[in-house]
Each structure stands twice: as structure tokens, then as C-alpha cells.
A and B are shown apart, each in its own frame.
Chain A
Amino acid sequence: MKKNRKIFLTMLFSAVFLVALSAPAFAGNVYKMGLSLAITGPTSDAGNPYAKGVEDYFRLVNETKILGDDTIECTIRDDQYNNDVTKRNYEDFMSQGIVFYLNYSTGSTMALKKDFEEEKMPVIPASFHAGNLIDSNYIFLPIASYSAQAIGLAEYIVKNNKKGVPKVALFIHPSAFGRGPVEDVQKAVAAGLKMEIIEVVEHGKDLDNTAMLKRLMSKGVQYVISQTVQSPVATMLQDAGRLGLVATSFGEPGKITFVGCHYTGGNDLTALAGASAENFYWTTSYIVTNEPSAGATAQLALAKRYGRDDKAANSHNYANGMMVAQVATEVVRRAKAKGKPVTKETLYQELLAMNGNNSFSPGTTVGPVTYSATDKAGVDTLQLYVAKGGVFKSIGKPFIPEYTSKIK
């Protein structure tokens, strides 16, 4: 009796031990990633939907088994737009053994650039600052840089200006984020883009832009290219509307046509500026949800699946977050498909190979994502939109700015 009991217990413990050993194999591998961004604090109007896009897409990947039994565990932390906190978060992620990192702001991306190089960590930030790519091998911009966006807008102005050489002012954020494209636009002009830059205005926390707008009008400025966030643009547009300066059609004589890069527009601008956002021209590489497309349907379905409100669901920054998660997932999928181990090294190699026939179309962008050793800006294509009736609508077809390659 005692012997039987001993055999039974031995068998039981052996079985438990074997099940415990085989459990990780049944569960699949877990790939750790990290995202540090401003969910609260400055710029959180962009960061909050961005975080939701990342979170929702990785949940979808895990729940619908896009990677089979393998899962992605992406830790998302709020850094309140504080570079020191971002650095701390990144170091903590590193100690957890992440294989891919998603960053957010221009400042922290620039500050951590050396760390990314030393750690050989592939990184996609939410900042499209061209300076991120200088002296860096591991930072990959998701879409065209701010410089490319501003140059694209400048090219559109030159092509569609009705008479003479267009006079342009740049309205920029007083930071590296805002100043980034100025030099590149100036280079494009020097390289032959027929446009006159009248003034570069660095805005403050202005309650009223009357003086600035009147000054620009007195200098004959016809176009204002904005590279900042939505709030100062909203105030400027409201003042311009009051002063009767807003062009109702592109390049309307005697008025100013307002155009802007990715973070100046979208539904956050219409939320802030209301009717004053009407006729604002905006460029980004992302689709908008009010125009039917497979990407828009997927974006809205994802947001609905995880109970997001309409504001987040329709945000281009939700698309932004979703898209970087799509790219991160795709490189994992490709590495696995080739039988490679999923490490930061193999994911980096997969990013570099994402070009030609291997380019990736996430659907949330107006063109494919292409990376190589010499091209670290993902989607090169831009789409111009104009605010009409409270929503942004496409104008023309997606385009790639010509002067971005000419000034390299």
C-alpha cells in the first residue's frame, strides 16, 4: 500500500514537472517592446490617441494570433514629455530585454540617439524630425520627415501659385521640432524652388496674432507654412479669420493661404479652431477616416473593437500609433517566417530589408513603408488635405516631394 502510494506520488510529480516544462512551448514566445510617450502633459493631445493606437494594435495581434502562438508584450509608459523620464523608461525597458523600442518626442529621440547606437536598438519615434537621422543608424521615421512635409507644401505652393513668385512665411514652434525644416526649405529654395521666404516666425504663447498677421500682409506674404502643434495654429487662424485674411481658395489673391505639416492639422485642429479651420491645407502621410479606404475601415474597426470613442478612432495620431505597431509586428513576422530568432539585431535587419518588393503597406498610410540602409524615412508619399465642412478632404493624388532628394 505504502509502495503504491510512493509510485503514485512519483508519477504525479513527474507529470506536473513535465507540464510545467512544456507550458512555455505551448504559450509561444513573448517579444518585449517598450513605448515611452506623453499620455499626459504637453502634446498629450497627440500622445494619448497615439498610445491607444499602439496598445490596440498589439492587443489585436495577440488576440487574433497574427504571430501564431507568439505574442508581443509592449509596455507603454507616460513620460509627460519629460526627457529625463523618457530616458529612465528606456533604461528600464532595456533591463526588461526589449527587442524593439517606440519613442515619441523630438527632444528625447535626439537625447537618446547615442544610447540607441550603443545598444543597437531599432527605434521608431513619433517625431518626424530629419535631424533624428543624422549620425544615427537605428532610428527609423515612420513617415516623411517634417522637412519633406514642408518642402512638399512649398512645392505645391509653387506649382499652384497663380501669378509670380510666391511669397511665403514659415510659422514654427520655438524648438528643434519646429526649426527642423527651416534650413531644408531654405536649401530647396537655393536649389531652384522658385519661392521667396519672407519671414520665419517663431511663435510664443500668444493670445492674439493680429500684429504678426498684419505685418505679414504688409510684406505681401501669400502663404504661411506652419510647423508646430495645433493650438497656436488655431489661434492664428481665428485671428486671420477675424481680420478677413484667410484665402477661401488656394492662392486667392490679396489673402493668405494657410498650410501646415502633420501635427498642425487633423481633427484636433478642427476641435480647437472650429469653423476658423475651414480652408486650412494640411499634409501628412496618413489616411483620414472620413474618406473610405481599407485602412480607414481597419482603423475604425480596431478602435471599435477596443471601445475607443469617436475622437480617438478618427484621430490621425491613432492611425500614427497603429501604424508603428503594424511595422513592428511586420518585422517580427518576417523574421519568424525566415526562421530567424526574434532579436533586436534581426528586427533591425528586417527593417533595412523593407524595400522594393519587400515594402510594407499598412493601409493606414497613403503609400508603402520603405526602409533601407540609406533611407530611414518610412512612407515617402504625402497627401494634401483641405478642411471643408469641418473635416479634412483629399486634394489630388499622393505625391513625393522632388526637392527632398535634390537637397541631400
Chain B
Amino acid sequence: MSYFFQLVVSGIVVGSIYALSALGFVLIYKSSRVLNIAHGQIIAVGAFITYALTVWANIPIFISLVFSMGITFFLAMSVERVFLRRLIGEPIISVIMVTIGLMSILDGLVYLTPFGSENFSFPEFLPTTPIGFGGVSISWTQMVGVIITIIMIAAFSWFFKKSTVGISMRAVSDDQLASMSIGISVPKVFGLAWAMAGLSAAAAGSIIGNITGLNFETLHAFGIVVFPVVILGGLDSILGAVVAGIIMGLIQQFASGYLDGNWGLNGTGGVAPYIILLVILLFKPHGLFGIHEIERV
């Protein structure tokens, strides 16, 4: 039974980190209907900034994380201002193509630094003895990762539900023209959405980097790995990202734990989430919590 519970706990841990990684996609899509293909690169950049501040500038890791989130906040905001602001009103495909170009630019910039071709790991700052209960174990790094994820998702949920700016962002997401007519600055909302996505990416990158080590290819691949989570959750729902993240994490662990190595199966942990994604999308094409828009003509 402890085997089952270990898979459940690991699934929830992995799923939470997926949810945090997916959050950046959701925040941008929610406000601007743009899918940021370069999100994985921003995740990696966030992790590298945290590392640089921690190891090279000798700043305690939690303070580095806060600084890193601040830096990626302004970095992502600048990216939106420089590259995407002028594309407001242009076809969505053009905007997506720009984010693909942005991905290449960020790749190139990272390759100019040691992070592009070297491996690093964060210094140990938490106890190495795992937390164990009833035959189930979880590392301190994972536990802290889950706590940070919960805090961030709760903060973003509160922000969108209660704060004036958050409500403005939801209004823009719902209807840009109507929002403008009541005085909301749509460009500013877009900038803020990107900035918040940058902030969440730094948190996600730093947590992943603490678990896997800092390897650029591994880190930026998470932009693709979490894609099924984003689609399954419904693209514009924070709750959807959380639920889909945990579903995907659990499916991966159960598939790997119960299917792989049996009946000639192998690698189902990587494939099963996509199969489940397809099945769910057959019945719910907008994802679990996606808004089903009805157009009247």
C-alpha cells in the first residue's frame, strides 16, 4: 500500500511543479490570447539568475529567488514592450511566430553565457534527510517546491479575483474593446500579464533546477513538457492548470509504476498523459476548465 501512496505523493509533487510551470502560459493566454512558445526559455533564465545570485553573488537562496522573480518580472515586461506591444491587433499567428523567434533569441543569448553549455547545481540549503511518513518519502526540496507552488497559485488566484488590477486583466481577457471603453489600458494589462508570467517562470525554474540540476536543455524543455497540462486545464484557467498538473503528475507516476516493465510496455509514463489528454479533449474540447465561447452571428 505504501507503494501506491508513494506514487500518489510523487504524482502530486510533480503535478504541482507542472502547474507552476504552466501558470506562465495561462497568465499570458488569459489576458492576451497569446501562447508564449518561449516560456521554457524564461523558466531556464529565471533558474540561472537565481543560481548566479546565490552562488556568484553569495546572496541567500530565498532572497535570490525573490530578486530573480523581480528581474524576470521586468525582463518579461520589457520583452512584451519591445517585441509584442506593436503586434496588438495583428493576427494571432503573427504573435505566436514572434514568440518562436523570441525563443531562438533567448537560446542564443543563453548560449553566450556559461549556462548554455555547462552544468551546475544549487548548493544544498535544506536537510538532505527526506521527510518520511508511513513508508512514503518526500525530499525537502520537493516539499519546499510544493509550498512555493501553493503560495504562488493562491496569490495569483486572489489577485485575479479580488484586486482591481486582476479584475481589469480578466475584463481585458473577456472583451478588449469593452475594457478600453471603460478606461482600462489594454497594453498595460498585456505587459503586466507577461511580467507575472516571468515572475512565475523564475519560481518554477528555480524549483526545477533544485531538483534536476541546472542544465539548459532540461530546463527549457519544461516549456514543452507542461504543454499537455496547459491544454488539459483549458489554457486560461489557473484552477485548470493546477488540476491538470496534478492529474498529469499522477498519471505519469501510475503509468510508470504499474504499466512500465509489464506486458512489454516501456515509457508509458511519458506517453500516457498525452493519451489521456486526447481522450479528455474528445469530450471537452476546451479543456477541463476552459471557457466555451459562443459567437453569435
Contact = CB atoms under 8 A, between A and B. Distances in A.
Interface in A38-75: 39-45, 47-48
Contacts of B254: 211
Interface of A: 39-45, 47-48, 174, 198-208, 210-212, 214-216, 218-219, 230-231, 234-235, 238, 241-244, 268, 271-275, 311
B101 interface: no
B116 interface: yes
Contacts of B214: 272
Contacts, number: 134
Contact of A231 (B138, B213, B252, B256): B213
B260 A208 contact: no
Given A205-B225, A208-B253, A242-B137, A273 B121 contact: yes
27 contacts: A40-B111, A40-B117, A41-B217, A44-B116, A45-B117, A45-B118, A47-B117, A204-B267, A205-B222, A205-B270, A207-B18, A207-B225, A208-B13, A212-B260, A212-B269, A230-B119, A231-B217, A242-B130, A242-B138, A271-B119, A271-B120, A272-B121, A272-B214, A273-B121, A274-B121, A275-B124, A311-B118
Contacts of B163: none
A39 B257 contact: no
Interface stretch (B2-10, B41-49, B83-91, B275-283): B2-10
B122 to A, nearest CB: 8
A203 B18 CA distance: 18
A52 to B, nearest CB: 10
A28 to B, nearest CB: 34
Contacts of B213: 231, 234-235, 271-274
Contact of A210 (B6, B221, B260, B267): B6
Contact of B257 (A215, A242, A243): A215
Given A208-B253, A231-B217, A214 B118 contact: no
A370 B124 CA distance: 44
B261 interface: yes
Given A199-B261, A207-B212, A45 B137 contact: no
B266 interface: yes
Interface in B1-58: 3, 6-7, 10, 13-14, 17-18
B164 interface: no
Main secondary structure of the interface of B (DSSP, over half): helix
B3 A218 contact: yes
Contacts of A42: 217
B3 A201 contact: no
B124 A274 contact: yes
- The listed residue with most A CB atoms (<10 A of its CB), out of B121, B254, B257, is B121
A241 B128 CA distance: 9
Contacts of A273: 121, 213
Contacts of A43: 217
A40 B116 contact: yes
Nearest to B214: A272
Interface in B182-232: 208, 211-215, 217-218, 221-222, 225
Interface string B59-76: 000000000000000000
B139 interface: yes
Given A208-B10, A242-B138, 7 more contacts: A47-B117, A207-B18, A208-B211, A210-B6, A215-B261, A238-B211, A243-B137
A48 B111 CA distance: 11
Interface string B225-263: 100000000000000000000000000111111001100
Nearest to B110: A40
Contacts of B111: 40-41, 44
B20 to A, nearest CB: 11
Contacts of A44: 111, 116-117
Nearest to B138: A242
Contacts of A201: 260-261, 266
Given A45-B117, A231-B119, A211 B217 contact: no
Contact of A48 (B118, B138, B142, B211): B118
A206 to B, nearest CB: 7
A205 B253 contact: no
Contact of A214 (B3, B119, B222, B269): B3
B124 A231 contact: no
A214 to B, nearest CB: 6
Contacts of A48: 117-118
Contact of B121 (A219, A243, A271): A271
- Which A-B residue pairs are the 7 nearest by beta carbons? A272-B213, A204-B270, A211-B257, A211-B256, A48-B117, A44-B117, A40-B111
B64 to A, nearest CB: 17
B48 to A, nearest CB: 14
A45 B116 CA distance: 8
A231 B215 CA distance: 7
B17 A272 contact: no
A247 to B, nearest CB: 17
